């Protein structure tokens, strides 16, 4: 990595290296902007940043994943969003938000970014990059931001600078993940509880449809608006702050006030996904893999039928996984393509990838990818 750094930036300065993970969400999908509980883990695939301070006020960014773009170079007073800066906008957005918050970024830096997270696959490559840059800035300028503050800053950049109105899940798990744990995260209060995320005799497998997400941003923002509209209707009869404050019974009693069938489906997903997530955490604590698997399946069905964020490729991959030994499988992340997760028994594991991959290819013509990941700590400085 240092060779590339020296070559790209034509320098031989001392560098520091940081790693920011990607994330997988076990269950609790599309409810982090509805005040619900979500259950993500940080993973060993992620984004690496090698950085060296500069004496002037210039920032230079280079990513091996976007080498065609070359070095993007901007000064401290020129960090506004520009289409042509591509991926570097995420980094600029973070720096610009820090300046707006009153932090003096006393000098610039050179940053080389590389990584092994597949892009646009639903494993949060963008949040991984945002949190990486925020953490680097926090360390380099000694800003004293907590991990939670870093996550909130990164989310604000995604919302306001990049225009994707995401919830807090991705940035918070990437900032504060814990090795071998999933974090049950209350997105209304930002409280988290670490739960060991393994079932004895089973493995988590991430399955990538390799069907790139396309309209994710506009569809995602549309779902969010739909939930807000459903919430406003419900607030006319029940004083709640979030859809996920409603338990399934209460929802059953008042759902008739939502006349629009689309909004009704969106709200139903949020309310029942919240109940499933709490039940999943209990299943994990009592090591009941079968119960957890059923909740995964029910979550996928709800995201398919009620929330309508899965699609042909994800549905096909998830069905093939169940066919070949997964005791539960579901889309993970925003959906509209990208990745799914499966809980697979040790016995089924040796053939799982070949069989699922074969069926998926037969039906879709695409070659799926499979990742067996470990759950890791959040962003940090590393030695390589």
* Residues involved in catalysis: 170
**Structural contact between residues 351 and 324, judged by C-beta atoms closer than 8 angstroms:** yes
Give least dist CB 168 to ligand GLA, A: 7
Our finding on whether 167 is near ligand GLA (CB under 6 A) is yes
Our finding on whether 32 is near ligand GLA (CB under 6 A) is yes
Give least dist CB 273 to ligand GLA, A: 9
Measured between alpha carbons, how far is 205 from 342 in angstroms, rounded to an integer? 5
Measured between alpha carbons, how far is 369 from 351 in angstroms, rounded to an integer? 14
Our finding on whether 226 is near ligand GLA (CB under 6 A) is no
**Structural contact between residues 273 and 36, judged by C-beta atoms closer than 8 angstroms:** yes
- Span near ligand GLA by CB under 6 A; candidates 27-35, 56-64, 198-206, 371-379: 27-35
Our finding on whether 337 is near ligand GLA (CB under 6 A) is no
> Closest CB to ligand GLA among 298 and 356?
298
Q: Bridge-partner residues for 196, per DSSP?
A: 181
Our finding on whether 170 is near ligand GLA (CB under 6 A) is yes
CA distances from 267 to 27, 171, 272 (A): 17, 24, 9
> Closest CB to ligand GLA among 25 and 47?
25
Our finding on whether 175 is near ligand GLA (CB under 6 A) is no
**Span 249-278, contacts to ligand GLA by CB under 6 A:** none
> Taking CB under 6 A as the rule, which mask of x and - marks residues 106-125 in contact with ligand GLA?
------------------x-
With CB under 6 A as the contact rule, the residue among 18, 24, 30, 108 that binds ligand GLA is: 30
Give least dist CB 299 to ligand GLA, A: 10
Measured between alpha carbons, how far is 354 from 349 in angstroms, rounded to an integer? 10
Give least dist CB 378 to ligand GLA, A: 16
Give least dist CB 165 to ligand GLA, A: 9
With CB under 6 A as the contact rule, the residue among 95, 97, 150, 169 that binds ligand GLA is: 169
Our finding on whether 93 is near ligand GLA (CB under 6 A) is no
Computed on alpha carbons and rounded to an integer, the radius of gyration of the chain in Å comes to 21
Give least dist CB 331 to ligand GLA, A: 9
Our finding on whether 331 is near ligand GLA (CB under 6 A) is no
With CB under 6 A as the contact rule, the residue among 15, 29, 330, 357 that binds ligand GLA is: 29
Q: Which two tokens stand for residue 179?
A: 């090795």
**Structural contact between residues 216 and 314, judged by C-beta atoms closer than 8 angstroms:** no
Our finding on whether 334 is near ligand GLA (CB under 6 A) is yes
- Span near ligand GLA by CB under 6 A; candidates 11-19, 30-38, 233-241, 300-308: 30-38
Dihedrals phi, psi of 319, to nearest 5 degrees? -65, -40
- Span near ligand GLA by CB under 6 A; candidates 12-20, 25-33, 312-320, 375-383: 25-33
Our finding on whether 166 is near ligand GLA (CB under 6 A) is yes
Q: Which two tokens stand for residue 305?
A: 């039928």
Our finding on whether 88 is near ligand GLA (CB under 6 A) is no
Judged by the rule CB under 6 A, the positions of this chain that interact with ligand GLA are: 25, 29-30, 32-33, 124, 166-167, 169-170, 333-334
């Amino acid at each position: 990595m240092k060779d590339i750094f020296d070559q790209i930036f034509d320098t031989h300065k001392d560098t520091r290296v940081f790693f920011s993970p990607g994330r997988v969400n076990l269950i609790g999908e599309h409810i982090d902007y509805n005040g619900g509980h979500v259950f993500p883990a940080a993973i060993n695939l992620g984004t690496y940043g090698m950085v060296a301070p500069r004496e002037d006020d210039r920032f230079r960014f280079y990513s091996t994943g976007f080498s065609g773009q070359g070095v993007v170079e901007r000064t401290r007073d020129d960090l506004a969003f520009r289409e042509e800066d591509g991926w570097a906008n995420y980094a600029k957005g973070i720096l610009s938000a820090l300046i707006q918050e009153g932090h003096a970024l006393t000098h610039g830096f050179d940053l080389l970014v590389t990584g092994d997270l597949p892009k646009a696959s639903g494993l949060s490559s963008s949040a991984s990059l945002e949190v990486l840059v925020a953490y680097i800035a926090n360390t380099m300028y000694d800003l004293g931001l907590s991990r939670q503050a870093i996550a909130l800053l990164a989310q604000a950049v995604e919302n306001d600078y990049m225009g994707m109105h995401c919830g807090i899940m991705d940035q918070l798990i990437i900032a504060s993940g814990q090795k071998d744990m999933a974090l049950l995260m209350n997105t209304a209060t930002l409280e988290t509880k670490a739960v060991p995320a393994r079932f004895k005799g089973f493995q988590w497998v991430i399955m990538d449809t390799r069907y790139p997400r396309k309209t994710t941003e506009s569809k995602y923002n549309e779902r969010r608006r739909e939930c807000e509209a459903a919430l406003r209707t419900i607030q006319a009869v029940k004083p709640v702050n979030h859809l996920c404050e409603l338990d399934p019974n209460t929802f059953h009693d008042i759902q008739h006030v939502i006349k629009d069938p689309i909004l009704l489906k969106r709200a139903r997903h949020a309310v029942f996904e919240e109940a499933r997530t709490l039940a999943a955490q209990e299943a994990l604590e009592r090591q009941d893999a079968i119960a957890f698997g059923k909740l995964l399946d029910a979550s996928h069905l709800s995201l398919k039928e009620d929330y309508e964020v899965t699609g042909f490729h994800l549905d096909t991959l998830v069905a093939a996984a169940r066919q070949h030994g997964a005791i539960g499988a579901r889309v993970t992340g925003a959906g509209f393509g990208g990745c799914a997760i499966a809980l697979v028994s040790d016995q089924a594991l040796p053939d799982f990838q070949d069989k699922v991959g074969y069926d998926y290819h037969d039906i879709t013509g695409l070659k799926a990818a499979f990742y067996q990941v470990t759950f890791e700590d959040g962003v940090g400085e590393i030695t390589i």
